[in-house]
Structure 1
């Protein structure tokens, strides 16, 4: 059984790009969904929400979600803001890990001070209605990716990836090795070494030219 708190702690220390290097089959959310608060890292289990041009479902979901959860909001093409500074503040107060919206938010100026990771396709000043309670914890399509309640959502400034906890647990050792190698490469360049010289570039190119299977390696 996966130790979820320990897994999330390790994921928060890693760049999402490193996790993707370790498992290139992970589901990457549409990169048009971007962080509205820069410099944050996000990792937590999904609480899925359907909210089409109505922010009432967010209020219901924030009250129901467990600490550490990420609200994953599908708006099904909505064009109104379904979240903003008030919801982000309440989510942070309750210990949620973040809010990610396949649609629009508002109050961009106030979100950095809240500090909660918030992702969206953009911002608009016009809020939706409060007439439809929406749906919670059912499978949704979010940024082109199917997300089920309990799937892990992991993100940083590069974007979001989603998958079962076991997939991330399996990717962590490889991701940690990627970051050790990259740190060594950066240290080498700081000492004046060139990046191509710290790789197997020539052997890789020769193998490709001969039609042989090959993978670029690093020799920091």
Structure 2
């Protein structure tokens, strides 16, 4: 996929909730995790900066693997020397217990136009991480700004005690983060609910389905909250569906909007 196609893909993904993409995954694939076309990071990976509701991180994975725990040099190395606009740093810290990123790293990531940082380990300076919106351009913040994007940071925990800076680590190889394998070049999408990972071609298939799901949900909410106060029962076949399932008959939920 060309760089322009990837950028367009990221722009579309930033307009979609992760939950809508997960629902699209069930439609395209299966409820069985083994057949899912996307991978979901586990609950240990949590957002650590508070952003405007609806802010979605979407970027290209640049992977970082520690060779020594509690040593944040690999993150500093990649962030300062290698990371590029629209990338998400995905970091395997070898179960570190000391902070491997904080306010300075987030500020630099924002300056370079990164989409996010996802760390399977601790961070610090959480009181100073909220101002993470930037005007992105094609040259690490230089030139004409084109769109406002969000720089999110995720981690497993928080500690004020930082690590060391001795081991450069390894980059751009398969890592494990949040219980799943992440490969360099994978697409990483996250919001307040969680993070999903997959190939660009996979997300290209999910986007139109997720867009329809989100449109239906918006209409349902509009109906429920409108002056007419349409009920969920009125806008779906829930009564019929429940009756059929109680009788052991095949049935699917349908929306009547």
- TM-score between both structures, scaled by the size of structure 1: 0.95
Gaps of 5+ in 1: none
Q: Counterpart of 2:22? A: 20
Find the partner of 2:176 among 132, 137, 141: 141
Q: CA deviation at 1:75?
A: 1.2
Residues 1:155 and 2:190 are matched in the alignment: yes
Determine whether 1:34 maps to 2:34.
Answer: no
Distance in 2, matches of 1:193 and 1:42, equals 33
> Structure 2: 5+ residue runs without aligned partners?
27-35, 134-150
Q: Calculate the aligned-residue CA RMSD, in Å.
A: 1.3
Between 1:73-82 and 1:197-206, the stretch displaced more is 197-206
Q: Secondary structure of the equivalent of 1:138?
A: coil
Q: Which residue does the alignment assign to 2:137?
A: none
Q: Could you tell me whether the CA contact under 8 Å between 1:38 and 1:157 is conserved in 2?
A: no
What residue is the counterpart of 2:145 in the other structure? none
Cα distance, 1:105 vs. partner? 0.5
The aligned residue for residue 112 of structure 1 is 130
CA distance in 1, matches of 2:95, 2:255: 43
Q: Secondary structure at the match of 1:109?
A: helix
Q: Could you tell me how far apart the structure 2 residues matched to 1:183 and 1:101 are?
A: 33
Scaled by the length of structure 2, what TM-score is found?
A: 0.82
Aligned to 2:127, what secondary structure does the other structure show?
A: coil
Question: Matches of 2:78 and 2:237 in 1, distance apart?
Answer: 50
8 Å CA contact retained: 1:141, 1:147:
yes
Matched position secondary structure for 2:126: coil
- Aligned residue pairs total 220
Runs of 4 or more above 6 Å deviation: none
Q: Give the one of 211, 217, 227 matched to 1:182.
A: 217
Shift of 1:32: 2.1
